[in-house]
Amino acid sequence: MKIMKVKGNHVILSLVCLVLGFIMAFSYHLTQLETQQAKPDMTDSQYKETLSLRNELIAQEETNRKLQKELNQKQAKVQKNEKELAKEAADFNSLAKDAEKYRMFLGKVKVKGKGVKITLADGAYDPNQDNVNNYLVHEHHVFKVVNELYISGASAVSINGQRLTSRSYIVCNGPVITVDGVPHPAPFVISAIGDPDVLASSINLSGGVKDQLVNDNIVFALEKVNEIVMNPVLGN
């Protein structure tokens, strides 16, 4: 009885292995069929065409890389040129501003802006004094005011509406003063374009120009003005 039981187990095990092998063989065959249906075999001409297209694609990608590298180099050059042009534009703008400033100082252009107006008038005559010149405004009085205004940052100055330049001259001629050959009687209105507060503070300093003029019996008046207009100097 014992020998018969062992032989029965062998038969069962053999059947199981047989069925399992059949299932595996059938599954492998089915997979092969599905693969062949999904990816049919290519002919020689199809293979050659596919290989040619792949080589063309590789070559095109290489060309694209070269073109991209060249593009990057040209873009870098363009950026460098743009920076140089921007610097040149900034330099040109600075030169244009300087030129406009010099034209203004030379009196070649019309200017306007805030500033101050200072009036110098002859003092009241005292008959007890022998010398009447002690009560008159002279060129050195005007010079003091004009120089102080320029030192304080005035960009343009005029006397009785006549614009001054770097080559202007002022000469006293009796009761009048001559500015660049043009006579002007008193009172003398000296206008200056610049920061009104700075200009006024400079003129009104204790012991400064104003005090010196008042001590010389000159009638002095100063006012801040929101807009002063000065025309360009005519001729040379």
pLDDT tens-place values along the chain, 236 residues long: 444 444 556 566 666 676 666 677 666 666 666 555 554 556 777 777 787 888 888 888 888 888 888 888 888 888 888 888 888 877 777 777 777 666 666 667 788 899 999 999 988 766 566 666 677 888 899 999 999 999 999 989 999 999 998 888 899 887 789 998 899 998 999 999 999 999 999 999 999 999 999 998 899 999 999 999 988 876 55
Q: State CA 62 to chain mean position distance.
A: 43
Per-residue pLDDT of 17-53, as tens digits, reads 766 666 776 666 666 665 555 545 567 777 777 878 8
Q: Domain ends where: 106, 132, 152? A: 106
Same domain for 117 and 223? yes
Same domain for 154 and 222? yes
Domain hosting 144: range is 111-230
The amino acid present at 136, given as its one-letter code, is L
Q: What are phi and psi of 122, to 5 degrees?
A: -65, 145
Full-model pTM? 0.58
Same domain for 96 and 168? no
Nearest to 224 by CA among 127, 135, 134, 117: 117
Same domain for 121 and 208? yes
Same domain for 149 and 91? no
Same domain for 123 and 167? yes
Contact indicator for 189, 119 with CB cutoff of 8 Å:
yes
Contact indicator for 188, 142 with CB cutoff of 8 Å:
yes
Q: Domain ends where: 69, 90, 106? A: 106
Q: What strand order describes the sheet that includes 188-193?
A: 162-163, 156-159, 188-193, 111-121, 219-230
Q: What is the rounded CA–CA span in Å between residue 73 and residue 70? A: 5
Contact indicator for 170, 177 with CB cutoff of 8 Å:
yes
Residues 67-101 as b/e (b if ≥16 CB within 10 A, e otherwise) read eeeeeeeeeeeeeeeeeeeeeeeeeeeeeeeeeee
Tally of domains in the chain:
2
Q: Domain ends where: 106, 141, 169? A: 106
